[in-house]
Structure 1
Amino acid sequence: MTGTSGMKRILIVDDEPNVMRVLKLMLERAGHQVRTAADGLAGLEMARAEAPDVLITDIQMPRMDGRELVRTLHAEAPQRGFDIYVMTSMTEREEREWVRRIPRVAFLEKPVSPRQLVACLARGLDDGNEGAGHVGS
């Protein structure tokens, strides 16, 4: 993963510039290296080019939504070495269910507390679970 410093390479994929800016600033202040992508297709290309330590994605985005981004990454690399956090304001059960079926993926309900997110990143997700389900609030 990363060195002893705890610094992680994080890729944030979100089409809302304000959300991306706040998360990027908070995560950089916590000592992480952050890259951003404005939609799932750009995020997929970036993750393929250089796998992050953590991917944080929204669900509703243009070109490729977060659901498709996560499913594509999982299909291409089922043993991928990074955690994925899915952010959404949608709380329907079906949104929670698909996240649970993919290993090392957690559902984050918007609004996401940056402080809580930093704590989640420090803990990481359990490699052995069958999808991390819901994190936070």
Structure 2
Amino acid sequence: MLKRILLAEDDPAVSYILTRYLEKAGFAVRAAPDGRAALALFDAEPADLVVTDFRMPGMNGEELILALRTRQPALPALIVSAYGNELSVQIPGVRVLNKPVAADELVALVRDLLLDAETMALNKPAQ
């Protein structure tokens, strides 16, 4: 089964490029132009990972991740931002990647995050 990626990016050109990178790597991608639209997409169909811009109108990437984590607490997340070096994101399971993004770097990081999430799920004690 394809891993489902939710992409939140307000720049249409960047959204298109990131979507193509991820689709070529074999992921199913659904893109939203902002955080609120991303929440609606997630509510309609949950994702295995979120890739989000940090600076977006209405809701920034960190706020989006926190809102998604109320729905799916272990959701892995990647913030892609031109301001990555300036960000101090303190949310567990969140990585930051600087723009401009190389396809191989993005895909490798997404795969690592998904693998980490799968490993954590397998090692989680039964309740």
* TM superposition score category, shorter chain reference: 0.7 to 0.9
Q: Give structure 1 regions of 4+ aligned residues with deviation exceeding 3 angstroms.
A: 125-128
Displacement after TM superposition at 1:51 (Å): 1.4
CA distance in 2, matches of 1:122, 1:54: 10
Equivalent of 1:13 in 4, 8, 12: 8
Which residues of 2 match residues 1-137 of structure 1 at below 5 A?
A: 3=1, 7-74=2-69, 76-77=70-71, 79-80=73-74, 82-90=75-83, 91-92=85-86, 95-96=87-88, 99=89, 101-124=90-113, 126-127=116-117
Distance 1:104 1:40 in 2: 19
Is the 8 Å Cα contact of residues 78 and 110 (structure 2) preserved in structure 1? no
- CA deviations 1:100-126 (Å, max 9, x no partner) are x32211111111212111111222263
* Superimposed CA distance per residue, residues 5-35 of structure 1 (whole angstroms, 9 cap, x where no aligned partner): xx31111100011111111111111111111
Aligned-pair distance for 1:62?
1.3
Over the aligned positions, Cα root-mean-square deviation in angstroms equals: 1.8
Structure with the higher fraction of residues in helix conformation: 2
Gaps of 5+ in 1: 129-137
The two structures have a TM-score, normalised by structure 2, of: 0.81
Determine what percentage of the aligned residue pairs are the same residue.
Answer: 39
Matched residue SS, 2:13: helix
Q: Secondary structure at the match of 2:73?
A: coil
- Separation in 1 of the partners of 2:110 and 2:67? 22
**Structure 2 stretches lacking a partner, 5+ long:** 121-127
In structure 2, what residue type is equivalent to 1:8?
K
Deviation at 1:78, TM superposition (A): 6.3
**Residues 40-76 of structure 1: per-residue CA shift (max 9 Å, x gap):** 11011212222111110001111222121112223x1
Q: What TM-score results when the alignment is normalised by the length of structure 1?
A: 0.75
